[in-house]
Structure 1
Amino acid sequence: MQPYQKYPSKSGSHNKIHEFLEGKYANSYVWPVIWHNVIKEEELAYQIEYVTFEVHKDSNLNQKLSDIQFTLNPINEEDPKVFYLNFLTPAKSKILSSDNKHFPTFFVNALQHTKNTLEIVSNEKYNTDQIATIDIDYLWESETGEMKALEVTTFRKNLSSLSEAKRLLQFAIDKRFSKPNAYQLDFLSYVSNKIFNAKIYFVCVNTLNSTNEILPQSNVLWFELTSEVAQNMHNGKLPEDSHLKFCSIEEFLSEL
């Protein structure tokens, strides 16, 4: 099991994608973090503990959610465990919930001493149960009412052709996504569908050096991250060609 998943603040979001979504879907574009445990049996199973929508000094994207008016599927019928965390306000008002009785004690204890949830989850002093976190890079409601999400992977090398993009993706699969106990892609597919009723797409882009700044001439390799595709990637396999789309960054954005 991977005990913690580090996620970037939205100050480090991928410029062209973030700017496009903020401009077109400002009323629904959000950034959720999912707190969970992985149960290792014959098949992996996931136990969702909490969903948090966070505001901190590097990101005010979720500010629109301060009134908890965002439609989610309950994690289960009795206990949705959805929290809005605002690290820019005094400690006592940093956390709001649709049901106060479910405040996790370690959230409350940590709020006075932390600047974002990454500091909470990565500090065993607070996160004594070692709950893991994974974020969804981009989540929004489309003009047709369909929920969509993106998981973005960046490459410094040019995605100059479909064959080169596939080579680079295979490299990422070998180095990251097919490591022993890797589960993040399957989990993202599961939670996007289970909680948000969203289709999630895996997106590969070319960025400037080690930054998240997408190059103007970048091509994009992208595909829907279904459970089957995710599991195949965890097993070291590329998605089949019939699943793949390859286009310019402008063409990609026009399809969102």
Structure 2
Amino acid sequence: MMNGNAIQYKRRSQIGSVLYRLKKNKLAMFGLFLLIVMVLIAICADFIADYDEMAIGQNIQERLQRPSSEHWFGTDHFGRDIFARIVHGSRISLSLSIIAMLFAVAAGAIIGAIAGYYGGRTDDILMRFMDILLSIPPMLMSISIVAALGQSMVNLLIALGIAYVPVFARVIRSTILSIKGQEFIEAAKACGTSDARIIFKHIIPNAIGPIIVQATLAMGSVILIISSLSFMGLGVKPPAPEWGTMLYEGRDFLRQAPYLTLFPG
């Protein structure tokens, strides 16, 4: 009974642990603030600006209009409202980054948990492979994977997920190494609980705090990589209103209409 109460208390304390870690890390707090703002904008995008009419609908008569009360950020060379495209672009960037992070967290959690729990040769093989991936900058790895597999949304998500798997694998492994010798883990083993159940029910939930902090810090980098790949023609395809794609399309009008790249940038 005591062990059960201790485990329940430990689970309830996870939210407090996450908040404590976030409060200690100012960069993570700032990233969380920006993430919340982006989420709110993405959720309310349809109420802020019409997608079909303003974000992707072309109106040649209003092409390259300067910022005004009617078009806050001006219009592009197809007459599309830049403000509307930026607002709806936040939904694309945020959705892609969240999906990529979920993939990276899931794969990293499994690899890190297996390496940390079993140790020995298993740990050496898995973590050396993670070290190899970690030695490659995420941007370079993403470019290489997308260039090899071809330009598509799925390949972009695969590339981003693989690039960040080692980060979460190391975070989870370090957490597991610090708790796998504790009493509630030994009690679960003594009760005949399977290794898989111990890993997924008792160990990984205790790494939620560090995972959330790391994911918050990584979200900004992932969004920048998505925009960079789109700018290079390896990410989201036009006419989707993605920020990097908007920068790519506006580069030919830097002198005539600098606001085409100023506001998306």
TM over 0.5: no
Q: Which has the higher contact order (CA 8 A, sep 6+)?
A: 2
Which structure would you say has the larger Rg?
Answer: 2
Provide the TM-score with structure 2 as the length reference.
0.25
Instruction: Tell me which protein shows more helix as a share of its residues.
Output: 2
Provide the TM-score with structure 1 as the length reference.
0.25
Instruction: Tell me which protein shows more strand as a share of its residues.
Output: 1
